[in-house]
Structure 1
Amino acid sequence: MKDEKYNRSIGLQCPTCGCTSYEYEHGVDETIEVAKCASCGREITKDELLQENSENIQEHISEVGKQVTDDLAKELKASLKKAFKGSKSIRIK
């Protein structure tokens, strides 16, 4: 199974205006501490931004989980069909 298929990039929206463009202020160790909305200028911490977008993030996680489950089921079915190919007493639908 190819993992690249399940990578997602989620645009985090400003809770005030819905914009997805930010200017970032980096902390001591190059991690983002404060994001400033490019549209309305609201400053928000990384944690607050993630919390405000948690519903959107969870929806993407659910979509990827469903896709992984469906793909695994298809792979399992295909491998079982291949393993029991030619067997007269076992049929896989």
Structure 2
Amino acid sequence: MDAEKYNRSVTLLCPICGSDQFEFENSDEIVDSAHCAGCGRRFTRDELIEENGENINEHVKEMGQEITRDFAKEMRNTLKKAFRGNKHIKFK
């Protein structure tokens, strides 16, 4: 399976105004805090992730279903190839 196919970006939204525009303060490539461009509220990285937890969980759930579906399809195709030519085993 191609792992690159399952990379996702989740847009984080401000819980106050719903904006997705943030200014980030970095220290050594780690985001310390975010400043909402819409309402001006400041969030720590953990607060922003916690506030968007439901959105993140939905993306994870969707991705899990897609991975499961693709894995089942890949296994079915592999078994079909392995038992090709056998007249006693059939796949639906």
User: TM tier, shorter chain?
Assistant: over 0.9
Q: Between Structure 1 and Structure 2, how many residues are aligned?
A: 92
1:78 maps to: 77
Matches within 5 A, 1:1-20: 1-20=1-20
**Structure 2 length normalisation: TM-score?**
0.96
How far does residue 92 in structure 1 lie from its aligned partner after superposition?
A: 1.2
Tell me, in whole angstroms, the C-alpha distance in 2 between the residues paired with 1:31 and 1:88. Answer: 59
How far does residue 88 in structure 1 lie from its aligned partner after superposition?
A: 1.0
2:41 maps to: 42
The answer on 1:58 being equivalent to 2:50 is no
Structure 1: state its 5+ residue gaps: none
**Aligned-CA RMSD value:** 0.8
Moved over 2 A (4+): none
Tell me, in whole angstroms, the C-alpha distance in 2 between the residues paired with 1:25 and 1:48. Answer: 14
**Structure 1 length normalisation: TM-score?**
0.95
Identity %: 53
1:87 maps to: 86
Tell me, in whole angstroms, the C-alpha distance in 2 between the residues paired with 1:91 and 1:64. Answer: 30
2:31 maps to: 32
Deviations 1:32-89 (A, max 9, x none): 1110001111101000000000000000000000000000000000000110011011
Structure 2: state its 5+ residue gaps: none
